[in-house]
Amino acid sequence: MLQLNTNGAEFIKRHIGPSAQDTEKMLAAIGIKSVDELIEKTIPTIIRSKKPMQIPEGLSEFEMLQSLKKIGDKNIVATNFIGQGYYGTITPSVILRNIFENPGWYTQYTPYQAEIAQGRLESLLNFQTMVCDLTGLPIANASLLDEATAAAEAMAMIFNHVNKTDSVTQPKFFVDSAIFPQTKGVLVTRAAPIHIQIEEGSYQSTKIDNTYFGAILQYPNNTGSIEDYTAFIDQVHQAGGLVILVADIMSLTLLKSPGELNADVAVGNTQRFGVPMGFGGPHAAYFATKDEFKRGMPGRLIGVSIDAQGGRALRMALQTREQHIKREKATSNICTAQALLANMAVMYTVYHGPVGLKKIAQKIHGLAQNLEARLTSLGITQANKFYFDTLHLTGFDIAALQKEALAADINFRYFNDGKNDNTIAITIDETISENEIAKVVALFEKITGKKASGKVASTTSIPASLVRTSSYLEHPVFNTHHSETQMMRYIKQLENKDLSLNTSMISLGSCTMKLNAATEMIPVSWPAFSSMHPFAPSSQTLGYQEMATELSAYLCESTGFTACSLQPNSGAQGEYAGLLTIRAYHEHHKQAHRNIVLIPISAHGTNPASAVMAGFKVIVVACDAAGDIDVNDLKEKANLHKDNLGGLMITYPSTHGVFEETIIDICDSIHALGGLVYMDGANMNAQVGLTSPGAIGADVCHLNLHKTFAIPHGGGGPGMGPICVNDKLAPFLPGHIYNKSKIGAVSAAPMGSASILLISYAYIKMLGATGLQLATAYAILNANYMKSRLEKKYTILYAGKNGTCAHEFIIDLRPFKATAGIEAEDVAKRLIDYGFHAPTMSFPVAGTIMIEPTESEDKPELDRFCDALISIHDEIMAIEKGLSDKLDNPLKNAPHTQKVICADEWKHAYTRQEAAFPLYYVQQNKFWPTVARVNNTHGDRNLVCTCEPVASYA
């Protein structure tokens, strides 16, 4: 029985919104007797789960924290000198408390509704400005997933730029042997399906000709050496190729920028700007390039525009680049990125300012020089002529050192790559002080039996030709907020501009904006998890391993599959990884020609984009009038391509919010022709515990942990997109440099953004089997309750055969265009005046909104939202009847800012009260948009993606 059991786990009632009494009222409104009956009518019997989930019953919040603490105690937080792209960093407490641990920031959605997202848009614009300044390149995006995938995105971008026509004339890509191995690993994975030929070598000895489209180098490189690439960059350019530099962001405060070196693209990680290592993530990677490549850039770009009042307003620029529009022609599948972490990194820069940042970099450099002097006095060889933070050491008993260091919980980087064997690297970061340096020296003294002396060099170890002389971060935003009071207020000022889950429900269809409970979030900040280096010895990471093993088992149980990879850093990365497993399976069975994948027209844009990246050709399948996959069209196309059929990608329940009855038949027909089925798990919130991808006949799926499993969206990331697979595909899961596999790595770190896996782990632990099932049932109940209220006023597109929807439903707004001149955008913006974020706009059907309330919203909130939409309907009717002007009405002028409402002049035919306080509840909790409706085309025509000069604000 699907009932809110008053004796059940404490957290169930905290996570699920409606009370038992309200449940009765909601069922009565739908006209159904019980939640069980609703589920029976909604999910086809044939795919209903037959057995209870093998997941323990829920722990209380207190119990869960205690048990996770014990698991954390199994991790050893060592002093890390490993470097390799991950560094100890000091997160300023004001940022930790006011952003990282603040639902006002972490529960935000991607800033599609720009009018209620000006705070994070401003911060992300600061991020882009910071990246542009430090890299010396004019345009940067608002983050990518990690350094390695950012490098792969850059590779794909320049490949497409250079090889503009279908015939690829420059297929080769030079990879300098001295880039981080995890980056190389991802490049190799990403290159193969799109037929890029990776040529690895030394930049000093390789001759680049016109068969190369580009090259990638690391600055400073894998062993820490600072190399001058100027001549090589010229050589690549002369051959018609382009150059990517992977640059350490901290070092760029002291080193000549990639732009000054004439690199075409710079990528890297901003982790060491105040974002904990977290055993691999989440962190924001950056991507900057020259102006001429801006239209091919991956990810989201924030730009400056104007609003309806002519004031400055920010929004996401060049939205036509989104996969929604480009689909299989998109060259990147990046959707969710790392917005929250980008905001943290830039706030670190805002707080420290250019002078503070440089001081941190100089301290790091100085300590490295200090250590070099003392170690070389012991007779140890330091191989880097020039370096920033990393010493490359040889000439001593490495095994002896390793033994002593491990015993002292000190980690160095021990090479075992065939090129640098018998050497180690020591990397200094911001957290290292003289004390730690002294401990390192003592270790070396012990193994050499000598006493260190050594005088620190008086000059820097940066070559004169590469010393940075150009200025950076001169904008006032980086030179103002340096006291904690100023910083706290700046963060708060931005937070106040944004509508988050701590204001009202965000009913985004397909995005599952559910509760991100505080108890789920707390462990992410614990040093036992946050301070772990992803390449720490496995003997130190037992806690992470235990959590990951347990979580993988729960995810397999939820999907009906048998194996799991936690590596992909977003849903789209999961799609890519999952499709690679299918590709590898066919290759393994000598069926490499199976390169066709069928994708319904209703699919999310990332599906075709990921398919192309994984080397598939996309054939689009039609949907019928009821919104279901057109089974005849599907079978016809599957048959037509049967010899080359790789598989099918489907979303279930469909993006139309319906559990299609034909799903088993669909999967069977693909299998019968030798194809495999990929299920996009974005809608798993309608499945967990009641049915599963395994039950519908799929072979692999990804899970958006940032939807179904409670990781917050962070204003556009982080996210996690693990994949689960059946036995057939288990041998083909992603590997890593430290764990070789058939398809290689898809992320820089073996467990992706490992630290936020804790959130999903905690969510599952506290809900337990009963709670997980109830959460799904209530997600469906809440959606059907809203549907029952709204269908009296609006046309609902699509429903299952018994008239119920899944966990979301689509409202058709298209008819109002003809009757009242009202478009979906007008309704979305008017909802802001009512204190709500708009539902998903125009996906999967243009001119509609898709509402997904989730289980976490209670009946009063659902009612407020329905009241708002019903009141908006009345406003539309007034226009239809001629009672309200077609152009001058509350919808067309929405949203109304405080400035507009309080202005001395009010020229409209409706009142200020009607504009700003249209319903009684709004008076209790008014949320003011800080800008009026944003003009998108103006911004795209006049693209400005960095903070404008101060004069322009005047």
By the criterion CB under 6 A, which residues form the site for ligand PLP? 335-336, 510-511, 570-572, 604, 606, 651, 655, 680, 682, 704, 719, 721
Place of tokens 């764990």: 739
The SS3 of residue 475 is: coil
**CB of 805 within 8 A of CB of 850?**
no
Q: Token match 């000709």: residue?
A: 209
Q: How far is the CB of 573 from ligand PLP (least distance, A)?
A: 7
Q: What angle do CA 486, 491, 496 make, to 5 degrees?
A: 120
Q: CB-wise, 675 or 719, nearer to ligand PLP?
A: 719
Query: Minimum distance between the CB of residue 524 and ligand PLP, rounded to whole angstroms?
Result: 18
d(CA 817, CA 824): 9
Least distance in angstroms from the C-beta of 284 to ligand PLP: 15
SS3 454: coil
- In the complex with ligand PLP, which residue's Cβ is closer, 4 or 666? 666
Cis status of the peptide bond prior to 282, with omega within 30 of 0: yes
- Min CB(843)–ligand PLP separation in Å: 8
Q: Is 510 left (phi over 0), alpha (psi -120 to 50) or beta?
A: left
Shortest separation between residue 713's beta carbon and ligand PLP, angstroms: 9
Q: How far is the CB of 325 from ligand PLP (least distance, A)?
A: 15
Q: Which two tokens stand for residue 486?
A: 């100023």
Give the H or E element holding residue 353.
Answer: helix 339-376
Min dist CB 522 to ligand PLP, Å, is 24
Which strand (E) or helix (H) includes residue 547? Answer: helix 542-559
**Least separation in angstroms between CB 844 and ligand PLP:** 8
Alpha carbon distance 599, 328 (integer Å): 10
Type of residue at 439: K
Least distance CB 746 / ligand PLP (angstroms)? 13
Q: List the beta bridge partners of residue 218.
A: 246
Instruction: Give whichever of 261 and 579 is closer to ligand PLP, judged by the CB atom.
Output: 579
| The pair of three-digit structure tokens given for residue 560, joined into one six-digit string | 């009906």
**CA-to-CA distance for 75 and 73, rounded, in angstroms?**
5
Q: How far apart are CA 618 and CA 641, in angstroms?
A: 11
In degrees rounded to 5, what are phi and psi of residue 912?
-60, -40
Q: What sections of 673-719 are H helices per DSSP?
A: 693-696
- Candidates 680, 754, 762, 735; CA nearest to 146 is 754
Residue closer to ligand PLP, measured from CB, 218 or 704 = 704
- What's the closest the beta carbon of residue 189 comes to ligand PLP, in angstroms? 17
Q: State in angstroms the smallest separation of the CB of 728 from ligand PLP.
A: 23
Q: Which is nearer to ligand PLP, 103 or 571 (CB)?
A: 571
Contact 134, 253 (CB under 8 A): yes
Q: Which is nearer to ligand PLP, 241 or 719 (CB)?
A: 719
Closer to ligand PLP at the Cβ: 627 or 929?
627
Residue 316, classed as helix, strand or coil, is strand
Whose tokens are 């911004």? That residue is: 939
- Looking at beta carbons only, is 324 or 642 nearer to ligand PLP? 324
By beta-carbon proximity to ligand PLP, the closer residue of 707 and 896 is: 707
Task: Please answer whether residues 500 and 285 qualify as being in contact, where contact means their C-beta atoms are separated by less than 8 angstroms.
Answer: no
How many C-beta neighbours within 10 Å does residue 659 have? 26
Cβ neighbours of residue 860 under 8 Å, at least 6 residues apart?
none
- State which residue, 108 or 655, has the beta carbon closest to ligand PLP: 655
Query: Is the distance from CB of 132 to CB of 254 less than 8 angstroms?
Result: no
Residue with smaller CB distance to ligand PLP, 193 or 600: 600
Residue with smaller CB distance to ligand PLP, 388 or 576: 576
**N-terminal to C-terminal alpha carbon distance within the chain:** 64
3-state secondary structure of 721: coil
Provide, rounded to whole angstroms, the least separation between the CB of residue 553 and ligand PLP: 23
Question: Could you give the strand order of the β-sheet that contains 848-851, starting from the edge strand earlier in sequence?
Answer: 795-797, 809-812, 848-851, 840-841
What would the two tokens of residue 897 be? Answer: 């800012």
Name which of 357 and 666 has its Cβ closer to ligand PLP.
Answer: 666
Nearer to ligand PLP, 98 or 336 (CB): 336
φ and ψ at 357, to 5 degrees?
Answer: -60, -45
Cβ contacts of 238 within 8 Å, gap of 6 or more: none
Nearest to ligand PLP by Cβ — which residue? 571
Q: Is the dihedral of CA 378, 379, 383, 387 positive or negative?
A: positive
Instruction: Indicate the residue type of 687.
Output: Q
Tell me the C-alpha distance between 186 and 734, whole Å. 10
Q: What b/e sequence results for 766-792 when a residue is b if at least 16 CB atoms lie within 10 Å of its CB, and e otherwise?
A: bbbbbbbbbbbbbbbbbbbbbbbbbee
Q: What's the min distance (Å) between Cβ of 407 and ligand PLP? A: 42
Amino acid code (one letter) for 536: A
Closest to ligand PLP by CB, 684 vs 767, is 684
CB 828, min distance to ligand PLP, A = 17
Query: What is the smallest separation between the CB atom of 335 and ligand PLP, expressed in angstroms?
Result: 3
The residue (of 107 and 704) whose beta carbon lies closer to ligand PLP is 704
Question: Measured from the CB atom, is 705 or 811 closer to ligand PLP?
Answer: 705
In whole angstroms, how close is the CB of 510 to ligand PLP at the nearest point?
Answer: 4
Cα separation values, 642 from 328, 505, 578, 597, 607, Å: 21, 46, 21, 11, 21
In whole angstroms, the minimum distance from the beta carbon of 42 to ligand PLP comes to 19
Burial class (CB in 10 A: 0-12, 13-18, 19+), 739: exposed
Neighbouring CB atoms inside 10 A of 758's CB total: 28
Please report which residue ranges of 461-538 form alpha helices under DSSP H: 484-496, 518-521, 527-530
CA within 13 Å, CB half, 555 = 30
Considering the complex, state which of residue 468 and residue 604 has its C-beta at the smaller distance from ligand PLP: 604
Least distance to ligand PLP, CB of residue 679, Å? 10
Phi, psi dihedral angles at 134 (to 5 degrees): -75, -35
